[in-house]
Amino acid sequence: MALVLHASSTNKNAFKALIAAEYSGVTIELAKNFEMGVSNKTPEFIKMNPIGKVPVLETPEGPIFESNAIARYVARLKPNNPLYGSSLIDFGHIEQWIDFAATEIDTNIGRWLYPRLGYGVYLPPAEEAGVAALKRALEALNAHLTSNTYLVGHGVTLADIVMTCNLSMGFKGIMTKSFTSQFPHVERYFWTLVNQPNFKKIIGDVRQAESIPPVASKKPAQPKEPAKPKPKEEPKKEVKKEEVKPKEVPDEEEAPKPKPKNPLDLLPPSKMILDEWKRLYSNTKSNFREVAIKGFWDMYDPEGYSLWFCDYKYNDENTVSFVTLNKVSGFLQRMDLARKYAFGKLLVIGSEAPYKVKGLWLFRGKEIPQFVLDECYDMELYNWTKVDINDEAQKERVNQMIEDAEPFEGKALLDAKCFK
């Protein structure tokens, strides 16, 4: 029988075996009509791989799962295959880089990308740790490629195939040019490999990600109620004509239930009109203190609104500038549910790591709205302190945060973001 690879035609792990086959003169067929989430759930597939993951290679001797194992098998079908080098030390180095590609590159790209796509819980500290680990791995790879065109020797080996396929997920999914430009030799290596004919035939044209994907808002599926057993049919009673009642004609359309009001909409009217403050903030281009800051305090209503300082709890982990900025942007995106009731400033402070994230928020009501605490998990990542507007020092701190004063508390600003 021919070798049959069970996977979709876009699976980067399947690419490893298919590219190795191109270099080795081995014929592999993709399973016909393979549908992820359907084909890999069948009893026949589970017999080949008990955990139902792809790819799986069907061979005359039996199935093989795990993509690197499949790629190794394919390469070894050709005696003295140059994909495995020309010496024992080449073999060792090829295996070394295959493991590195799996544990240091693939794993950490996944830690960054998958939670943002909704495959797992998104936690900013975990993302930052993953990106930091990926950056360290890419720095090591970049250093090696400074004086090497390929990972081992002077031609393509199985290590290059596995490494390039793993990098492709990062380049296509989340590693933007501003990120990869820190590793110029990795960039050169990747674009060289994906444009080799045997790679391009399988992978096709590769386009680098233009932006980091936003965090997917994924609500847990509601459990279905178990089906109720049907009641046993009782023998029909004879109905006398006088007992038969005409059926009631249902209304053509049931009136929609009124949407419950947000508790903040039920508060007594406030003299502060939030949209007026936001317009003043946006339109003030000069004399900010005299116009916008003074206007804010003239409008501010302590009976209808409250001010809060927030400090990120894990500032020591803010070691990568762009990850810290993405973290702040993600928080502001998830606060969109409160746009009608809030105004905020978030400052990223420091000219070098670790960066501090501090913020100021104006909320409708005397407390932080409960629906914000319930629905925006970022709130738990910050310590919250209510501003005492009778304290002149705190009031001045509010002023500085609104106007992006620099230096702030003795430090330069990396960035300042506004929620309005």
Domains, the chain: 1-79 (3.40.30.10), 85-212 (1.20.1050.10), 265-419 (3.30.70.1010)
Query: Which residue type sits at 74?
Result: V
Cis peptide before 50, with omega less than 30 degrees from 0? no
**Sign of torsion over alpha carbons 291, 296, 297, 299:** positive
Phi first, then psi, for residue 3 (nearest 5°) are -75, 130
- Residues linked to residue 363 through DSSP beta bridges, in sequence order: 306, 342
- Residues linked to residue 307 through DSSP beta bridges, in sequence order: 362
Contacts of 111 (CB under 8 A, 6+ apart): 126, 127, 129, 130, 131, 133, 134
pLDDT tens-place values along the chain, 420 residues long: 589 999 998 999 999 999 999 999 999 999 999 999 899 999 999 999 999 999 999 999 999 999 999 999 999 999 999 999 999 999 999 999 999 999 999 999 999 999 999 988 999 889 999 999 999 999 999 999 999 999 999 999 999 999 999 999 999 999 999 999 999 999 999 999 999 999 999 999 999 999 999 988 644 444 445 555 555 555 555 544 444 444 444 443 444 455 567 899 999 999 999 999 999 999 998 899 999 999 999 999 999 999 999 999 989 888 888 888 888 988 898 898 899 999 999 999 999 999 999 999 999 999 999 999 988 878 989 999 999 999 999 999 999 999 999 999 999 999 999 999
Phi first, then psi, for residue 310 (nearest 5°) are -130, 145
Question: What percent helix, strand, coil does the chain show, rounded to 5?
Answer: 45, 15, 40
CA distance 210 to 396: 40
CA distance 156 to 176: 26
- Residues linked to residue 186 through DSSP beta bridges, in sequence order: none
